Structure 1
Amino acid sequence: MLTGAERRRGIGYGVGSLVGITLFVGIAVAALFSWDAGTASGRLFTAYTWRILQFTLWQAALSTLLSVTLALPVAMALARRPGFPGRIWIIRLMALPMGLPVLIGALGLIGIWGRQGIINSLMLKIGVEQPVSIYGLSGILLAHVFFNLPLAARLLLAALERQPAEYWLLSSSLGMKPLSVFRFIEWPAARRVMPGIAGLIFMLCATSFTLVLVLGGGPAATTLEVAIYQSLRFDFDPPRAIALAFLQIGITAAILIGISLFPNADDAGAIAGRVTRRFDGRTIGTGIWDTLAILLATLFLILPLSSIVFAGMCANLWSLLTSPAFLRAAWTSFTIAITAGLLTILISLAIISAREAIADMKRPGRTARGFSALLGGMSSLVLLVPPVVLGTGWFLMVRPFGDVARFAPLLVAIINMLMALPFVMRVLSPAVETHRRRTARLSASLGISGISKLWRIDLPILARPLLTALSFAMALSLGDLGAVALFGSSDLTTLPWLVYSRLSSYRTNDADGLALILGVICLMLTMLGTAGQREAKHG
């Protein structure tokens, strides 16, 4: 039970967070409206805009189809083979691309599938004259499958593992053939979550920025977000950028509405490494098929990751680490990351406190319930207004006041905070709610509140989830290129922008070394955040 003062304070925190985020997003959108909106509306239905929209939706649809279609046999194979050697490590490997900075993954793919990469070199040796192109539509599809196939496989695997054990026992006693098992048990489980998985992946591909920027290869392979960036950065054509930004908001809104109609997919079963005893798939042919599916998927993931390590080790890492450019970029990146991480923690705790204060009311009114729902949806606002669109609005807003680089670090930190908010809320909300449920009555009976309660009761228990949330938010900010793309310059250089600059100037050796350093930093942050959880599990 909360005291009246605690309830009022919690609701006040929620109001402050709602007002702050709404103002930040609203000012960006208002800036888009106010900058020659009449001219911008006329640019909305041009042949160029239509071509960009078509390519955005086409590549997202193809990427989604490939990712989900290829993930299904991998998930089925992992579900059928609970004793497969290294199975738990393969499942954990599938989580790595989701935490890997997108730019680093793109460099790893170039190392394997590029013109001088391993795959093309082998194809040329066996006489294939047309090597695989990593640039253009084929490269974008390849990169999207690399990042999204593991996500789809984990979610599908969790759905298959949630099937009751009695299903497999009954299928064995009935002597069901593999096709019947797939038709009556596996496919119904996968079909329930597949629309949600496909919607999520489609959203990620439709709003993809860094992969398309690096691998797009020209105007013929450009998505809406990259076109917005190009319109401001290279052409300085605000009306066209504004038209594309509003089109992007409309597309993301339509996708979000579509996703909301389907049940959410959860990978809790895959993360826990849950094993269900199955009696099917004992034939030699099925065993060979499952082994091939698992090994090919593992090889597809591990080759680009290995390429990053080997290519990075070939660079002069010490020279890069001690160079003034790296030190300046590292200082800027860490400053932005720490600011973004702390802001994310504060905003998340404010939202959680406000929702708990409303839930603690005996009879919350319609306004209170609506406010709670609004706070719950606020963490996903960045999905509706992507970072490049926010950056475009603020770029136009602050440009009349002087050098944009002066305002850029704080703007990038706030945009990164909005990007990290959904993930941090997912970590903190269950932890805080469980802790409050266990300690609320005891704290009230002892009369402990305020700073004393925070120091003696809350922090000792919540320190680990707070550290996890902070490390994830910082890692996400450190590896992000989208928010800084519009503001990057000699006065504002982050580590991803430095990697991209080296790659653009064909200094690939330096880019590989810097990418390895950035990847290690992000990996160390992730390990730091999960160290306490592993200790708790083994303790």
Structure 2
Amino acid sequence: MCVGLALATPIAVLVSHGGEAGVSSAQGNYLLRITRFTLLQAGLSTLLSLLFAVPLARALARRPAFAGRRWLISLFAVPLGLPPLVAALGLIEIWGRNGVANKGLGLLGVETPFSIYGLSGILIAHVFFNLPLAVRLILPGLERLPPEYWKTAANLGMSGISLFRLIEWPAMRRSAAGAAGLVFMLCATSFTLVLVLGGGPAATTLEVAIYQALRFDFNPGRAVLLSLIQVGMTLVVMLALKLMSVPTEAGDTKGGATSRPDVRGGLHALPDAALIGLGGLFVGGPMVAVIVSGLSADLSRLLGDTLFWRAAATSLLIGVAAATLSVMLASLLVRARYSAEAKPGSPTLSLLASLSSAAGSLTLLVPPVVLGAGWFLMLGGGTGQLLAPLAVIVLVNALMALPFVMRVIEPAHLSTMERNGRQAVLLGVTGINRLWQIDIPAMLPPLATGFVFAVALSLGDLGAIALFGSDRIVTLPWLLYQKLGSYRTSDAAGLALLLGGMTMGLMIMADRLGNRNGYGQK
């Protein structure tokens, strides 16, 4: 109920303001153009991500034992936790006007430089984030194919095309469809990457337009209409995702020995090696660029700046508060669902179980900028306020982390209840005594994993702070965005290295905590 209220309140504010907003012909054309571009870039990003992910996943499945494969698969997990602003800076270092790609084109005699800004930059950024995700979702299906399939294919003399059509594609079709829906939703609700790399009104999505309508124009009517369109579009995408049954576990992607009739060594391995090498270069290049440019910045001066430490303290304060709230909400929702499902037959308890299950997914329906827009209007822009905007930022970050925290806690809670529940009843340990003596100690590892993961997500988030950021409320992502906006690229590079290092350190900690206790959060 608390989650529903936190989501419904800003939506209600948006709807109430929407009744006052009329749609003129010019505004209708503007809304149509923004919506069309949002769908266009999301569709193209999805197409490109899957177009490269399928052959790359095939190449990795065909070559399960090359040196460095495990590290490459681990590298593909890094963009999932990398703050978008940090990635954007790395992409600018590679694909920007003075980046590595344009310098290489210049050596080849190409005079017109490639532009990272606009639709091209948005597509590159989205493929950078979503190509590794799609590969990690598609690859396990190929690696789980029984060896008997390949023996039969060898006996029948199948060629590469026949192998793909009759064996590989059926194995990857479901996961590829699920990956396509997931990538489309992520791209349709993308904010930070479009804000930084959009480059102007011609390359603006719904979320960026909401931000601009409130932050620069203070046009609540337009922001409300954009927000309602965004929520409606997200709802349609989520329903489509539900129908496509997205796989919930990426599975083990380290591979193993297999005998395929289409795998030969020598020169025949060059196409696969080229695909794998280019994939690793495309994903790893921007990360290396962030490290190199960050190390060349004046880090000692940045670390001596009181504004940096104030921003870091604010970010950590918001992250810890948001993570605490998210873990508490996730624990209550998981507990309520388990208690309701443990007593079947009651319509009321069945409804409670359904609501508890849906609460985590509902937070994906309303993007952070839309949530922030409702609270922004409720607070009158938050001008001159401090505690209320901070509370909103914490709440939005907690809700955005909730689905991921629930994925960590729920299987651990189920396992704990199955292992300890009967023993607790036999020993007569119930109520608060059971909670403190049995349940909480057993759940501490997954709770710690979810907490650290939520802190990392909040630390790199720009969506909520974008509306309320000011001289009084400064976080590390907001400070980095200001440095980029004022073309202080050296300072931005140093901040990106520090922010990326902090975030990735937390993600690694969460991953190790999860793997150590068997509760990974992939």
- The TM-score with structure 2 as length reference comes to 0.95
Stretches (4+) displaced over 6 A: none
Partner amino acid, structure 2, of 1:51: R
CA distance change for structure 1 residues 443 and 65 in 2, over 3 Å: closer, same or farther? same
Equivalent residue, structure 2, for 1:403: 384
Equivalent residue, structure 1, for 2:297: 315
Identify the match of residue 530 of structure 1 among 491, 502, 511: 511
Q: CA deviation at 1:24?
A: 1.5
Partner amino acid, structure 2, of 1:154: R
1:89 corresponds to 2:74: no
Partner amino acid, structure 1, of 2:320: I
Partner amino acid, structure 1, of 2:376: F
Matches within 5 A, 1:414-429: 414-429=395-410
Equivalent residue, structure 2, for 1:392: 373
Identify the match of residue 117 of structure 1 among 83, 96, 99: 99
Identify the match of residue 242 of structure 1 among 221, 224, 229: 224
CA displacement 1:327-374 (0-9 Å, x = unmatched): 11111111110010011110011011111111211x332332122112
Equivalent residue, structure 1, for 2:189: 207
Q: CA deviation at 1:36?
A: 5.5
CA distance change for structure 1 residues 44 and 424 in 2, over 3 Å: closer, same or farther? farther
Partner amino acid, structure 2, of 1:61: G
The sequence identity of aligned pairs, in percent, is 48
Q: CA deviation at 1:165?
A: 2.5
Q: CA deviation at 1:280?
A: 2.6
CA distance change for structure 1 residues 486 and 472 in 2, over 3 Å: closer, same or farther? same
Identify the match of residue 351 of structure 1 among 319, 333, 348: 333
Q: What is the alpha-carbon distance in structure 1 between the residues aligned to residue 234 and residue 515 of structure 2?
A: 37
Partner amino acid, structure 1, of 2:401: A
Q: CA deviation at 1:297?
A: 0.0
Q: CA deviation at 1:269?
A: 2.8
Q: What is the alpha-carbon distance in structure 1 between the residues aligned to residue 292 and residue 222 of structure 2?
A: 42
Q: What is the alpha-carbon distance in structure 2 between the residues aligned to residue 188 and residue 44 of structure 1?
A: 48
Q: CA deviation at 1:400?
A: 7.8
Q: What is the alpha-carbon distance in structure 2 between the residues aligned to residue 338 and residue 80 of structure 1?
A: 43
Where structure 2 has 5 or more consecutive residues not aligned to the other structure, the ranges are none
Deviates more, 1:392-401 or 1:494-503: 392-401
Q: What is the alpha-carbon distance in structure 2 between the residues aligned to residue 282 and residue 217 of structure 1?
A: 45
Contact in 2 for aligned 1:207/1:225 (Cα 8 Å) = yes
Equivalent residue, structure 2, for 1:222: 204
Equivalent residue, structure 1, for 2:80: 98
Equivalent residue, structure 1, for 2:121: 139
Identify the match of residue 486 of structure 2 among 486, 505, 515: 505
Q: CA deviation at 1:534?
A: 4.9
CA distance change for structure 1 residues 505 and 248 in 2, over 3 Å: closer, same or farther? same
Q: CA deviation at 1:41?
A: 5.1
Contact in 2 for aligned 1:329/1:493 (Cα 8 Å) = yes
CA distance change for structure 1 residues 353 and 535 in 2, over 3 Å: closer, same or farther? closer
Contact in 2 for aligned 1:60/1:206 (Cα 8 Å) = yes
Q: CA deviation at 1:316?
A: 1.4
Contact in 1 for aligned 2:18/2:224 (Cα 8 Å) = no
Equivalent residue, structure 1, for 2:32: 50
Partner amino acid, structure 2, of 1:433: L
Q: CA deviation at 1:401?
A: 8.0
Q: CA deviation at 1:45?
A: 6.1
Deviates more, 1:485-494 or 1:153-162: 153-162
CA distance change for structure 1 residues 462 and 400 in 2, over 3 Å: closer, same or farther? closer
Q: What is the alpha-carbon distance in structure 2 between the residues aligned to residue 107 and residue 471 of structure 1?
A: 25
Q: For residue 170 of structure 2, give the secondary structure of its aligned residue in structure 1.
A: helix
Equivalent residue, structure 2, for 1:258: 240
Q: What is the alpha-carbon distance in structure 2 between the residues aligned to residue 323 and residue 216 of structure 1?
A: 30
Equivalent residue, structure 2, for 1:149: 131
Q: What is the alpha-carbon distance in structure 1 between the residues aligned to residue 492 and residue 98 of structure 2?
A: 16
Equivalent residue, structure 2, for 1:493: 474
Give the count of matched residue pairs.
517
Equivalent residue, structure 1, for 2:320: 338
Q: For residue 222 of structure 2, give the secondary structure of its aligned residue in structure 1.
A: helix
Partner amino acid, structure 2, of 1:235: D
Q: For residue 21 of structure 2, give the secondary structure of its aligned residue in structure 1.
A: helix
Q: For residue 235 of structure 1, give the secondary structure of its aligned residue in structure 2.
A: coil
- The TM-score with structure 1 as length reference comes to 0.93
Question: RMSD of the TM alignment (CA)?
Answer: 1.7
Q: What is the alpha-carbon distance in structure 2 between the residues aligned to residue 55 and residue 534 of structure 1?
A: 41
Partner amino acid, structure 2, of 1:54: R
Q: For residue 35 of structure 1, give the secondary structure of its aligned residue in structure 2.
A: helix
1:432 corresponds to 2:432: no
1:328 corresponds to 2:310: yes
CA displacement 1:188-240 (0-9 Å, x = unmatched): 11222222111110000000000000000000000000000000111111111
Q: What is the alpha-carbon distance in structure 2 between the residues aligned to residue 127 and residue 44 of structure 1?
A: 44
Q: For residue 127 of structure 2, give the secondary structure of its aligned residue in structure 1.
A: helix
Q: For residue 38 of structure 1, give the secondary structure of its aligned residue in structure 2.
A: coil
Equivalent residue, structure 2, for 1:372: 353
Contact in 2 for aligned 1:162/1:269 (Cα 8 Å) = no
Q: What is the alpha-carbon distance in structure 2 between the residues aligned to residue 184 and residue 68 of structure 1?
A: 19
Q: What is the alpha-carbon distance in structure 2 between the residues aligned to residue 162 and residue 34 of structure 1?
A: 52
Q: What is the alpha-carbon distance in structure 2 between the residues aligned to residue 531 and residue 358 of structure 1?
A: 32
Q: For residue 115 of structure 1, give the secondary structure of its aligned residue in structure 2.
A: coil
CA distance change for structure 1 residues 513 and 85 in 2, over 3 Å: closer, same or farther? same
Q: What is the alpha-carbon distance in structure 1 between the residues aligned to residue 290 and residue 12 of structure 2?
A: 42
Equivalent residue, structure 2, for 1:301: 283
Q: CA deviation at 1:28?
A: 0.3
CA distance change for structure 1 residues 36 and 89 in 2, over 3 Å: closer, same or farther? closer
Identify the match of residue 457 of structure 2 among 467, 471, 476: 476
Equivalent residue, structure 2, for 1:68: 50
1:447 corresponds to 2:458: no
Contact in 1 for aligned 2:62/2:263 (Cα 8 Å) = no
Partner amino acid, structure 2, of 1:191: R
CA distance change for structure 1 residues 527 and 130 in 2, over 3 Å: closer, same or farther? same
Equivalent residue, structure 2, for 1:14: none
Contact in 1 for aligned 2:450/2:510 (Cα 8 Å) = yes
Deviates more, 1:42-51 or 1:153-162: 42-51
Partner amino acid, structure 2, of 1:320: L
Q: CA deviation at 1:278?
A: 2.8
Q: CA deviation at 1:158?
A: 1.2
Q: CA deviation at 1:289?
A: 1.0
Q: What is the alpha-carbon distance in structure 2 between the residues aligned to residue 488 and residue 367 of structure 1?
A: 43
Partner amino acid, structure 2, of 1:490: D
